[in-house]
Every structure is written in structure tokens, then in C-alpha cells.
Chains A and B, each alone.
Chain A
Amino acid sequence: MFLNTLLLALREIRRNLMRSFLTILGIVIGVAAVVTMVTLGQGATQMVSDQISSLGSNLLMVRPGQRLGPGRDAAGAPNFKKADVEAIRTQIGGLQEVVAVVAASMTLVAGNNNWASTVNGTTNGYLIAGNWKLAAGRAFLDDEERAGKAVCIIGATVRKELFGSRNPLGDEIRVKTFVCQVVGLLAAKGQGAMGMDQDDTVLMPLATVQRRLTGNQDVSSLMIALKDDAGASKSMEPIRLLLRERRKLAENEADNFNLMDTKQIAETLSGTIGTMTALLGAVAAVSLLVGGIGIMNIMLVSVTERTREIGIRLAIGALEQEVLLQFLIEAVMLSCLGGLIGIVLAFVACLGLSSLMHMPFLFNPAINLLAFGFSAAIGVIFGFMPARRAAQLDPIVALRHE
């Protein structure tokens, strides 16, 4: 009996291709939309947290000026001095590394290629604090740092622009009036949290940049790596007070420097992305609902025709349970087929979109299951319930149904 009924259901689907197609389409769209949106949202969250952790996790960034970002008010805020670095290092506990950085935008020339990038004068501590790894070559030597020798470590983007795929170690780059030798190559990190290219950078010893490029002893920013067990919030306040004192700020004056915890940025960004994911999820839920209503409509609209059909089947001797089983199989098959197509479609779309947006692709079985279950349930319920009502009528009533 089951095989026969399966055959009947299959015939019915084939016979009503348009209706079957529309039913399936409703479920496909519902499932695909929900799964794609939630999966991409999670990929974005993952990407942001990856980028934050590539920044170095227990890190404080100190910059002159009151605000971050474009238009920040750095005019009245003096840079830091080398002595500030020493003061923090000696007076504040729980710190792993205090790194001075002086940045300068420069045009780099190697052979026939030139490239505008940021030169960071710093110490080897920068590699630890910034969570950088060397792909090739070495860090700075002590005497290179002390004497301010003309050596540099370059990022992957700079290497690509100046040397192509050639090994840059030992080659020379001309910056302004001097020539410096490439001693190291940083491992690529990719895009940063704000969308900037972290690999577009050149590191030189602090003294080299101060003497040959900026011409003063100023330090434009500080990176402070905390020991793992030291809480960022605990260290931040003493550092802030120390810097206020050293910068001779009166009690009623605001800070003219900015102290930022990377973990805090990470949390803020993750929170934002989380909100976005929730929003996308809500949009997806609405599309699931709309898809569900679409399925309902298709199913209910065909009830008149199907009631007559059920009447015919009953009149020629079909048992009520045979008719019901047929309609149930039909609804289950259409709903499951639609759900599966939706999941495959979402998988392909997520794969394509996440590679297009350079995001990790995280397959989430729960959301797939949820979307599938919901759509399939709607399809089955609204495919089956009207049929059940019709099959319980007297055959002659079902036949006369207009």
C-alpha cells in the first residue's frame, strides 16, 4: 500500500509541476535567506575577532590627542618623548613590553619601483606587542637599534610592490636621501579591523627614523603589551595618571592623549557585529515567515481543486487513510526537497559571498536545521490539514465542492 501511495504522490507532483514548483520555491527562498544571512553574519563576527586578535590581545595603545579617528585634535597635543617610555617601563608594574613608535609617511624606492607607505621607527618589542611573525630574515640587532643603522623589516604588501615575488633580503630601499638594507620580511596578516592593510608597513630602528626622517626625538605613539594575567583596566589608570603628570596637565584639564585597550575595541566591534547578526537574523526570520505564508497560500488556493480530486478518489474506492497518506507524502516530499535545495543554495551562496568578502565560512548546522524544520513544518501542515478536512467529508460533498 505504501509503495502504491508513494507512486500516487509522485504522479501528483509531476502532474502539478507549477504548483509543486511554487511550493518548493517558497521553501527554498525561506531556507536559503535565513541560512545565508545568519552564516554570513557569523562569518563577519569571526573575521572581526580574528583581526582583533592579530592586533595582539593584551595591548594598550597610547596616542597624543583626545579623540581617535579622522579629524582628531592632535594639534595642541604634544608627542611623547623617549623619557615617557622609560618612565612607564620603570614605574608601572605588570607590563611585558613598552614600545615607542614614530610613524612617518614616506615614498620608498627600489630599482624602478616606488611605493608610498608608512615607516614605523620602533624597537624589536614592536614584533612582540603587535603579534608579528617574521616570514624570513631577522629582527634588528642591538647595535643597529642603538646606533640607528639603515636597516629595515618590510611588510608583505611593500615587498610585493617593490620586489614582486623576488626575495627582498639583502636588497636596498631608498627612503628620502638614504638607502637602507632589508633584513627581514614580516609574515602577512591581512586586512585590519578598520579595513586598512596591516601589511603595508616598513619597520626601522627608532633612532634611524628619528635622526634621518623626522629630525627630532619625539615618539608619536606607544604600544604597551601587558602580561597575560594583568588586567588591562587595572594598568590603564596608573598609566593615565603618570602620563597626565608627565605632560603637566592641571586637574581641570582633559587628557591630551588617548589610551586605548585593544580588547575594548574588540568587544565594541564584536558587539556591533553581534547587533548586525541579530538584525540580519530578524530580516531572515521575516523572509522565512513570508516564505511560509507563500507556501500556505499555494496550498490553500489549490484546496478547491483538490477537494474535488479527493471526492473523485473516494468515489472510486480510495480509503480515507490512503488519500491522507498520499497527501502527507506529497507535502513531506515537496517540503523536504525545497528545504534541501534551500540549504544547498545557501551553502553555495555563503561559499561565494564569504570568499568575495574575504570572510571565513562557518557552517552552522543549527540554523540549517532550524530553517529547514520550520519551512518543512509549514509545508507539511498546510499541505496536509486541508486535505485531511476534505478526506473526512462524504464523497458526494467533496465532489460537489465548488
Chain B
Amino acid sequence: MSDNAHTSPAVATHPALQHHFDDMEQQREASSLGMWVFLMTEVMFFGGLFLGYLVYRTSYPGAFAAGSMTLNVTLGAINTAVLIGSSFTMAMAVWSAQMGKRGLLMMFLVLTMVLGTAFLGIKAVEYHEKWETHHVPGKYFQFHEKVPGTDVPADPRNAQIFFFLYFGMTGMHALHMIIGMGIMTYLLITAYQGKYGPDYHTPVENGGLYWHFVDIVWIFLFPLLYLIAHRGGH
């Protein structure tokens, strides 16, 4: 951590400079660090859910495998590709902002939102499928599958824990996507107003960090939820 001696009052003030910062550099560094610290909080938040997953998958491997088998791997894989694609467009949006290319920035933001919406749409189709097969935890939950590779029926009570975690984790992830869409909308409007350029683009960068974080969560969720019963050429 270098010494933060910001003593350059002579620098012409940028309209986006807030009163309590000395200069744009200090403001940018503060916002960026703030975002990283926030993401650490997010890691710990999702960490609680991953811990729950770890404990119950270890306790009930059969029921978890049976539950995992009922998920639609094709749709999950498509969604993974969609989301990785949206990370690419987001990265391009940040680059466009840094280069001061307003038109490109807006285009990539729109593309990111389109891909994000596609993800949520596919997710909704999957949720609907689960609803129809009574795999939503709660009063109407039913589960009649067998543990993969055996003739033993999976314990519905334990399978329900799998589905609870499935909905909890993907639901929390989807909620973050929806918040991300809100951030994209804000960035799009402010980009339209011409607020970003080579000397000021911190909000786009921070929005990008957030979006990549949400993607990374999915990169972990996809194999843990969809692929655990598909090992060994099953």
C-alpha cells in the first residue's frame, strides 16, 4: 500500500469529483477498493450456502445425485455459455468506456443485458419444469427417483434438501443477476448522457467487477448442482 499523499489542488477539477476527495485518482482508487471489499462480503455470503451444500452432499450423496440427475444439463450448459458470453461483452464495455467510445460502450451494455435476460429466461423455463414435476420444496414436494446406478429409491426428505439448496443458491444467484440488470440500466442511461470517458469510467469498471463476480458464482454452481451424478461416463 503506497503512501496516499494526495496534495495536488492545482489539478483542474472534474465535474464528477466529489467534494471530499482531493482528486480523481483518489476517488477512483476509493471506489474500486470499495467494490472489492463489497465482493469479499459477497463471497462470504455465498460461502454460507456452499458450506450447507458441502455438509449435506457429504451426508446424503445418493439423494443429491438423484436430485442432480433430474436437472436439465443441456439448459444449464447453454446458460453457462450465455453467461460467459455476457462476461465477454461486459469486459468489452469496460474497454470501450476506457477508450471513450460511447457508442460501443452502449452497444456492449445492451448486449450484456440481452444475454443476462436470456439467462434469466432459460432459468425461468427450468424453474417451471421443476414446478411441474413437484420438485419445489414445500407442501407439494414429491420425489420418486432412484439413486443413480442402483435400484434404491432416494430418500425424498433428503432430496428435498438438495432442491432447497438448488433453489436457494440459484435463486440467490438470479437475484444478483436482476440487481446486475438494474446496474446495467443505470450505466446505460449515464453512458447515453456521455458521463464516461478516458478520465472517468469507475462506475463502468465497478459494474463490470460485480457482473464478473456473479458469473463466477455460476461457474461454481453449474458443476456442483448439475454434473455431480454424471461422473465416470454415467
Chain B associates with chain A: no
